[in-house]
Structure 1
Amino acid sequence: MLWQVLEGLSRDSAKRLRFVPGVVYADEGAACGQSPEDRAKTVAEAKLVLQSVGFPWHIVALEEVFSLPPSVLRCSAREPVGTEGAYKAAVDSFLQQQHALGEEQQSLPCPPRPPIRAGPPTAGQTEALSTLFSSVETLTAKEELLRTLRTHLILHVARTHGYSKVMMGDSCTRLAIKLMTSLALGRGAFLAWDTGFSDERHGDVVVVRPMREHTLKEVAFYNRLFAVPSVFTPAVDTKAPEKASIHRLMEAFILRLQAQFPSTVSTVYRTSEKLVKAPRDGCAAGTPGPRCLLCMCVLDVDTADSATAFGAQTSSQLPQTQPPVAQAEAPTVSCCCTGMGGARHCCRTEEDPRARVIEQLCYGCRVNMKDLLSVAALPGPPATLHPGRGPAPQPEGRG
């Protein structure tokens, strides 16, 4: 994708791109169990590739999610309506700047800028990230948590440096696998956002997927024929067996079908193109609504109106609420309080942090949170949570 952008920005391109891009590299070595030496080697290799491109680049570590502001969990408002001419004015200004650079400098994709890299993560942040992923029981939940944290970090970098679009390199094959995986994880209501060309759930920053028309084989052939430099890093599911997670199982299922029936990936992908986004997208419509605390999608679970959902949630919590066998050495602690009318209730239930987090998640994220032993390891201050449903809505206008 990066080399395609380079070709589109060159002066020999028939349809030259009219934007100045930047590159973000997220170091996920701590979540994948890499040693500090291996992480430093990988970052050095990535830096060589980024320096050869000529774009402004940003290297961030995944540990920086523990220092993100609470505003990253809020859907920021878009630009006010009525600025249709702003884009044309920006394009005209860009063309004038390119013309002023001269004929000898037009071959460069953008003016050279100093690299922007945050300081290395602290030992406490690395330990906190390792503790977080160690507390996740299943590989499926680890992959979903890693994807969520990576998205929050990239969006924060985009907002900090003034980028309005984030281009992801998801190919047609990866999106077909992602569609089947999302269905298995209970995220069918958000397939149009998770696999579509554009994802506007975050408001001011739009996620686009320009590589969704190319398969993995086409991308591999392109990299081979044009000698595109690559940096290979281990993932959280590297060397994992086929049935270790839903992601690995769906990947093996789709690729095996593709080997026998070459139209499998294209069929699944074309099916995703027919999905339309629900009109209840509150942030895009200008009416903020309750959103999931992790994936920022509109909450699709309403336990107040659904007896089935309430019964499923209550029955899933029954094994956790069963009192343990009384032990002689265990001290007796009274935690029950008397409310109005003499009704007794347990104060621990009302202040349970897991319950506060669960009620602000969509169905798919709730399923993954069941594999997290403790919500105390999650990044973000308690101020980001509120008693209502979903993240606190941000006032209109950009801050």
Structure 2
Amino acid sequence: MCSLEEPVLLAPPKPTHKTCTKCKTASAVVILRHSPFCQPCFEFLFVGKYRTVINRSKPIQSKLRIGKVLLAVSGGHSSLAMLELTAGFTFAAPEQKKKIHTFGSVSVCHIDESSLFEGSESTIPRISEMMESKYSIFPYHCEKLEDVFDPEYTESQSFSEVLEVVSKDLRPGQQGMNLCCFMAEISAQLRDIHQSKLTNAEKLKALFQHIGKNSAREDIYWHLKMNMLYRRAQKEKCDFIFLGESSTRQAIKMISMTSKGRGYSAALDVGSDNTITYQNMTIIRPMKDMLAKEIAVYNRNHNIDGFVIPTTNWSTKATSKSSIERLTEEFITGLDRDFPSTVSTVSRTASKLTVSNDLDVGNKCAICLMPIQRDITGWRDRITVMTLDKDRKESSKKDESNISDAGECCGGSENANCCSTTSTKTCCSSTQSIPFLNFLCYSCQVDARDYKAGQFDLPPYAAEVIKSKGRDERLRQQVEEFLLSDDDD
């Protein structure tokens, strides 16, 4: 029989003092993925992740102790932690006899972006002070983002032409416009770099002012920085470029890039080793297994957080819907709070991606320098809806009356094929121009749809790629009749 005075059973209170999960003896100082760790065990695990990436990298092991490294240091938490870890793998004290010198030499590159954002102070003095006081063993180079318009940041290091882009204020479905005319909205031509009276900083601001959405701004902003890092690594004759992208950032990039149509080159953008994008250069991401929280704790333990430069970009203090990447960041970090394995699952899945078998390394995008998928322009044309259903019939009638069976455009035989992607003339114009979109990958073509009406310049490196590809295409056409097809017996 039940007793009325039987005590109520309650769950015992959770202990406030937690013990390290690894050593089982020391008190925990940090909780990661619901697991408590003491500081020595946390340091061992954190450095071990960096060591694992370095030891498993075949390009690094092939040039052990002789490879030259360029560290991309933006001043954020992840890049500063990477700098601290790399310093430990570069030099060893005399008593550390078992420690191996992993790298031959290491240099640091920082790119100042303050000219893009009004009211921002230059970050070069803070980086210079940190390098001279804490990392004086490393040579460092501070560049300004507007310097990307200098001829030295090209493949030949002397190309003195820019790409002048002209975008018209037209939209699909207006005035019965067909696809070929819409392609002619954005035209470009090569122009000598000295013809413009604008400074490099003014050219850079004009470029981003003519881009309507933050997602497209963030993309080209990243591509310009990567080109500058690559050119600096070329000058220093480096074998590797180290990027401080954490596991959290990798997961965000993977989802956002897929949303932007960059899935074809995703394996190159998020892989730990990228030996394809740049000739004789390997992109290494040694921080790819570390969470953003782990990096912040490591910086605090090593007194590095005082050197951190706060990030300033178009998403700073903006809502989560300001750009695709910002929205993805809100989604991933929010999901990771309740499900701690979210970031690691996405990033590890992304690291398993491999490049396509039909990847053409020689056919690169003029802006991002990533390989272009074959026949991407034709595929985009087939899936693009240019008019609404109710306007399709009227638009098709207008197109039939304006385009003859011979492929004439604008209703006149003298302008035949003026909107063709292979033509060197823009629609209804006799001025020489370049089919700009044909030299871009799918993602950059999507970004180009956000260009505002007006005229602006793209850096010389983009102009050099287009001019080089145009020259190669002309040579191919000259010898095309002498080439053997794969179908020939």
TM-score by length of 2: 0.59
1:377 pairs, out of 450, 453, 457, with 457
In structure 2, the residue matched to 1:60 is 143
User: CA, structure 1 residues 390+207, in 2 after alignment: closer, same or farther (shift >3 Å)?
Assistant: farther
Distance 1:383 1:215 in 2: 39
CA contact (8 A) 2:238 2:281 kept: yes
CA contact (8 A) 1:337 1:345 kept: no
User: CA, structure 1 residues 392+159, in 2 after alignment: closer, same or farther (shift >3 Å)?
Assistant: farther
User: CA, structure 1 residues 255+19, in 2 after alignment: closer, same or farther (shift >3 Å)?
Assistant: same
User: CA, structure 1 residues 259+369, in 2 after alignment: closer, same or farther (shift >3 Å)?
Assistant: same
Match of 1:142, as an amino acid?
Answer: R
Deviations 1:144-201 (A, max 9, x none): 1110000011111111121121100001110010000111101111111000011221
User: CA, structure 1 residues 128+271, in 2 after alignment: closer, same or farther (shift >3 Å)?
Assistant: same
In structure 2, the residue matched to 1:110 is none
2:113 pairs, out of 13, 25, 28, with 28
2:386 pairs, out of 287, 305, 315, with 315
Deviation of 1:274 after TM superposition, in Å, equals: 1.7
Distance 1:301 1:136 in 2: 27
In structure 2, the residue matched to 1:208 is 284
The 5-angstrom pairing of residues 243-258 of structure 1 reads: 243-258=321-336
**1:358 matched to 2:437:** yes
Match of 1:170, as an amino acid?
Answer: E
In structure 1, the residue matched to 2:103 is 18
Distance 2:411 2:102 in 1: 65
In structure 2, the residue matched to 1:367 is 446
User: CA, structure 1 residues 282+69, in 2 after alignment: closer, same or farther (shift >3 Å)?
Assistant: farther
In structure 2, the residue matched to 1:44 is 125
CA contact (8 A) 2:89 2:103 kept: no
TM-score by length of 1: 0.71
Please say which of residues 353-362 and 15-24 is displaced more in the overlay. Answer: 353-362
User: CA, structure 1 residues 170+314, in 2 after alignment: closer, same or farther (shift >3 Å)?
Assistant: same
The count of corresponding residues between Structure 1 and Structure 2 is 320
In structure 1, the residue matched to 2:270 is 195
**1:219 matched to 2:283:** no
> What SS does structure 2 have at the residue aligned with 1:259?
helix
In structure 2, the residue matched to 1:109 is none
User: CA, structure 1 residues 387+24, in 2 after alignment: closer, same or farther (shift >3 Å)?
Assistant: closer
Deviation of 1:230 after TM superposition, in Å, equals: 2.0
Deviation of 1:386 after TM superposition, in Å, equals: 3.7
In structure 2, the residue matched to 1:348 is 426
Match of 2:449, as an amino acid?
Answer: K
CA contact (8 A) 1:132 1:377 kept: yes
**1:168 matched to 2:247:** no
Distance 2:248 2:105 in 1: 28
> What SS does structure 1 have at the residue aligned with 2:106?
coil
Deviation of 1:60 after TM superposition, in Å, equals: 0.3
> What SS does structure 2 have at the residue aligned with 1:59?
strand
Matched-pair identity in %: 27
Match of 1:369, as an amino acid?
Answer: A
4+ aligned runs moved over 6 Å, structure 1: 350-355, 389-393
In structure 2, the residue matched to 1:300 is 373
Distance 1:344 1:278 in 2: 34
**1:7 matched to 2:76:** no
Deviation of 1:354 after TM superposition, in Å, equals: 8.5
In structure 2, the residue matched to 1:144 is 219
Match of 2:348, as an amino acid?
Answer: R
CA contact (8 A) 1:292 1:390 kept: no
Match of 2:206, as an amino acid?
Answer: T
Match of 2:380, as an amino acid?
Answer: A
Deviation of 1:202 after TM superposition, in Å, equals: 0.8
Deviation of 1:300 after TM superposition, in Å, equals: 1.5
Match of 2:109, as an amino acid?
Answer: V
CA contact (8 A) 2:251 2:346 kept: yes
Distance 1:311 1:154 in 2: 37
Deviations 1:334-391 (A, max 9, x none): x99754xx95847532878986221111111111111122563222274542495799
CA contact (8 A) 1:199 1:207 kept: yes
1:177 pairs, out of 247, 252, 266, with 252
Deviations 1:292-320 (A, max 9, x none): 1122222115157x4x522345828x99x
CA contact (8 A) 1:73 1:294 kept: no
In structure 2, the residue matched to 1:259 is 337
> What SS does structure 2 have at the residue aligned with 1:8?
helix
In structure 1, stretches of 5+ residues that fail to align are 75-121, 284-288, 324-334, 394-399
Deviation of 1:279 after TM superposition, in Å, equals: 3.1
Deviation of 1:210 after TM superposition, in Å, equals: 0.7
Match of 2:435, as an amino acid?
Answer: R
In structure 2, stretches of 5+ residues that fail to align are 1-81, 158-196, 399-409, 420-424, 475-489
Match of 1:291, as an amino acid?
Answer: K
**1:272 matched to 2:350:** yes
Distance 1:311 1:355 in 2: 22
Deviation of 1:278 after TM superposition, in Å, equals: 2.2
Match of 1:184, as an amino acid?
Answer: S
Distance 2:239 2:288 in 1: 20
Match of 1:50, as an amino acid?
Answer: M
1:135 pairs, out of 200, 210, 217, with 210
User: CA, structure 1 residues 337+279, in 2 after alignment: closer, same or farther (shift >3 Å)?
Assistant: same
Distance 1:51 1:295 in 2: 33
Match of 2:280, as an amino acid?
Answer: D
> What SS does structure 2 have at the residue aligned with 1:51?
helix
